[in-house]
Structure 1
Amino acid sequence: MLLLFLALFALLLIGAPIFVALGGASLVYTAFLSNIPDFVVLHRMAGGVDSFPLLAVPFFILAGNLMNTAGITNRIFEFAAAAVGWLRGGLGHVNVVGSIIFAGMSGTAVADAGGLGNIEIKAMRDHGYDHEFSVGVTAASSTIGPIIPPSLPMVVFGVMANVSIGQLFAGGIIPGLVVALALMIYVSWYARRNGVGRDQAFNWRMLGTSFLRAVPALLTPVIIIGGMTSGAFTPTEAAVAACAWALILGIFLYRSLNLKQFYRITLETIETTASVLIIVGAASLFGWVLTTTRVTEHVATALLSITENPLLLLLIINIILLVIGSFMETIAAISILVPILMPVVNQVGIDPVQFGIVMVLNLMIGLLTPPVGMVLFVLSRVGKLSFDRTVMAVLPFLIPLILVLVLVSTIPALTLYLPTLWYR
């Protein structure tokens, strides 16, 4: 056990990619500490990615890339501005509402930050908003993306934990809306405190026009969620349907997508998918080694020796996840921690769907914390702000996010009401 983790952390410290660290540490065990044949290593890695639900990964990535390129983000922003731009701190609210809508298409926080972020920050800067506030609210609202379905982290969690992806998607809807509400309350407080007014008057005609322009884009989450809840298709098939709809919009309706762009998008999708799946494969091997060496049993025993109260255990796990999320990429953290923590969760009776949403929300907060927060790096570049100033801009928004995390952890109904209503 000691050698396994020393090898893992040594590889991480020298800057090895996460899949190399996971696979290398596993190979140390299989080569020097066991009599396991070499072909078992390949078998375990191949078995980790040989999963029907994981087919959703490339299709959700492709759908998000298509939506960004087809000019759909502009229509989303225009509709959000007409809907809530008349509130105090209007463009801050627009930022959050735009992320809610885009969350039903992309499934990743980085896609939201990179896609809508540029439009939102520029608009807020042009209207005289404090630049750091603009970057902060854009970063915080991007975390809604992987909580409201579809969600790439939830797909990976569902595969690793053997939990229904449809139930995870349903469980993320209410917490995602609660996150949005908490952020909008903070924006309203900021606007009153700093004398920020309304950016535009409410106009029914403008709202109707922008809604009609955005209707085809708004149908994307309706197709995904409606299709799954009605039983028309599985989450994997929903990802394919989202891609098909994005292609129809980009090629035939908006005519903003050409063959050259599609070729570039396809290559980006292949690259992103390969990076996700090779981590999943290496993590599957690492998880098998953890089980073989009984590490998961020892961790479960250690945590249960502290307390067997589900609420206190969830609090301890939250602290662990918040710390790890600050240092590790989301997919890698899920792949490593699920095999270790799920036995504990199951033993004390915490619902795996609730735990999945708690884990994803924790790791989304991790995207906003240094030193490895990916959203911080993306918005530092998009917002043309130094990394340290970006960190300071985001810090106030961690308060509403952590408050929502506490609510989701302590009130199971927030995550379990819709899965129970639709699936159980």
Structure 2
Amino acid sequence: MFVKLSCMFIITIVIVIAIDMTVIIFQIGQLVSCKIMAADWSTLPLDLLIDIAMKLETLEDFIYFSVVCRSWNRASSLIKDQWKPIRMPWLLLAENTNNNPDCVRKIFNPSNNKCYKLNLPETLGARCWGSDYGWLAMVDRKLNVRLLNPITKAEIHFPSAEAILDGRPYDKNHHESEENYINWILRAFLKRLIVLKVSENEFVIVVIYGHFDHLAFAKHGDKSWTSVFVNQDFGSWMFDVVAMDGYVFALYNDASLVYWNIEDFQGHEFVKPMDYSLSKFEMFEEFKSGMGTLYLVQSGCDLLMVLRFKGEVTNSDDETDYNYDIVYETFSFSVYRLDLKNRRWEEIEDYATLFVGGNTTMSVSAKFLEPNLIYFTDDEYVLSEFVRGLGGHDMGVYDPKCDEIRQFYEGDDIRAVYCRSTWFIPQL
């Protein structure tokens, strides 16, 4: 082999005398590339391919690995259920309704600032909420409720959103048209859909809905939604729900908590919560007026409450002179940890990277992300109807060290009526 290579090299050098230098480079490149291409990577032993695949960290790398060839795809398919990527939220950007016949949705990865495109006609016109488990919780224009994995296209179906209205004093005849009725449910009636994992292979959807923030849940296969007893004191409303350590916690606008055993969300019986008595928490005017938002986040063994401060935007000292391209914006955050021993909220400054919005909340510790930052998406649906360019603009990353907000995505495709930008952690 060495003799053959030497002869080819000598022949090439001889030809140099008569031809241009660019041809030399081309011929040498061909020689090198032929030797590299001679290696058949598909013949690597299966156990070695599995070891390599198990060491991959990101979903992108795993997908790239699986499409190299048949043997690599087989290796990835054998370990797909055991392989776990680093938990990394992706952002499903707002739907593009202009010249988009294939219903392509862009997904943004903040860890590498890359965008990917997926055909997701299932999300057309729907309102979506993300989750930690790879699912998007969706309510479409026909009021169907389902979980959708945007990567694998797997689906889990739940009772219709219209079934939540059973026994409630809401009449569709009060609306001018069927279209207005659907718009009202998607924009005003449904506050949040939250995905809870109640067992290894079973998920439930918890719905916060109505003017006084009622709570209901359903499992796959249910024909109806099961109501959950909540605090209905005047002026008190629910902001968020999270599952942690076998319990389901609900957070109210006065920072109070109630909780249930997670087993209560696996039956079909009306359940009453247990009160989690806390020391008095000082209320903020932003939350009294409804301009602020509270989030409940599990972070490791801790339960965090994130306060988001928002305000209306005006062009002058005249409080009615709005900038109708913006109308509202976020200007600050605070983070509190639940002190289990003393039953009170204590403000903290050191925490993992937090992701919040009207769709889902999550805490992530990863080498790709800087800690103590809060990524947020637009969660305002009341004032958004006054925005000339639709809602979705109130999105960025908050840095508490300098008390500043900066943009993490520079594209202009973030505005939509219902399906705003939505955090989810992808899974195969």
TM-score range, shorter chain: under 0.3
Could you say which structure has the higher strand fraction?
2
TM-score between the two structures when normalised by the length of structure 2: 0.23
Which structure has more RCO (C-alpha within 8 Å, separation ≥ 6)? 1
Which structure is larger by alpha-carbon Rg, 1 or 2? 2
TM-score between the two structures when normalised by the length of structure 1: 0.23
Could you say which structure has the higher helix fraction?
1
